[in-house]
Amino acid sequence: MLTDQQRHELDTAGYVVLERFLSPEMLCEVRTRVEELYALEGENAGSEFRKEAGARRLANLVDKGAIFEKLVAMPEVLELVGHVLGDNFKLSSFNARSTDPFCKDAQPLHCDAGALPDARGYSVCNTIWLLDDFTAENGATRVIPGSQKWDQLPQQVLADPAAHHAEEILLLAPAGSVVVMNTHAWHGGTANLTNGHRRALHIFFCRDDMPQQQYQRKLLRPETQAHLTPQLRRLLALDDPLNDQLSSVGSGASGFLK
């Protein structure tokens, strides 16, 4: 299913956009469940990962609805992730972030997990699932195309990583689209200048020798783990001794998620 054009975009720009990947029915289902969770969890929303001023968050979404189990295992998306990370990768975390209306705070440019490529190559790849249109006014993610190859972190070379970068572009796409991004590329969320929320899901993957950002075997309820398919168990590294060893050392990737 992976096309030559998609390979080229991932290899050069560092990202590819799948426009209107979700059907209208599935997009509606995801939006409905996300808003239910924000209402149910209230002030505790996102506490498994982090809370954030100026945004609503959710975390540990594999444990919170069958629709999320479907999304994390979409073969078209996994194939693109595999092109970045190779054959051996796993879910690192599954979160939601909704930028508040009129939130003028933008994220600095960063690489996810503060990670640079190493001898094995790339180690992090994020997927952004747009639940609202991403526009120039509502907090769309910015990215510096090709910066995954620079082997530098923005904070190492930029006087102000939060400032506009001459080479940045905004990822503008309609709701239901999915962005697959090599997140060694410099990127960050921008300010939401509108009166509406800017909602997205972040299904974040890492290489098999990296610790998970959210240790799935600890977070998932036993009843959730009991019904997961063998494919999902592998993707979540639930039966991987190496993953358990990595997670016992410390939690996984720090850093921003848009």
Residue 255 pLDDT exceeds 70: no
Q: Tell me, yes or no, whether 257 lies in a domain.
A: no
Residue from 191, 21, 208, 36 nearest 105 by CA: 191
Q: Tell me, yes or no, whether 9 lies in a domain.
A: yes
Pairing of strands 141-143, 124-130: unpaired
As to burial, measured by CB atoms within 10 angstroms (0-12 exposed, 13-18 middle, 19+ buried), residue 155 is: middle
Mean pLDDT value of segment 40-52:
90
- Number of compact structural domains in the chain: 1
State the residue for tokens 């979160």.
95
Q: Tell me, yes or no, whether 254 lies in a domain.
A: no
Q: Tell me, yes or no, whether 255 lies in a domain.
A: no
Residue 258 pLDDT exceeds 80: no
Q: Tell me, yes or no, whether 256 lies in a domain.
A: no
pLDDT of residue 253: 41
At 120-157, the pLDDT tens digits run 999 999 999 999 999 999 999 999 999 999 999 999 99
Q: Evaluate if pTM is beyond 0.75.
A: yes
Residues spanned by the domain of 72: 4-249
Could you tell me the pLDDT band of residue 53, with boundaries at 50, 70 and 90? confident
Q: Tell me, yes or no, whether 194 lies in a domain.
A: yes
At 80-130, the pLDDT tens digits run 999 999 999 999 999 999 999 999 988 999 999 999 999 999 999 999 999
CATH of the domain at 105: 2.60.120.620
Q: Tell me, yes or no, whether 121 lies in a domain.
A: yes
Structure tokens at 230: 């063998």
Q: Which H/E stretch holds residue 205?
A: strand 198-207
Q: Tell me, yes or no, whether 225 lies in a domain.
A: yes
pLDDT of residue 238: 96
Residue 228 pLDDT exceeds 60: yes
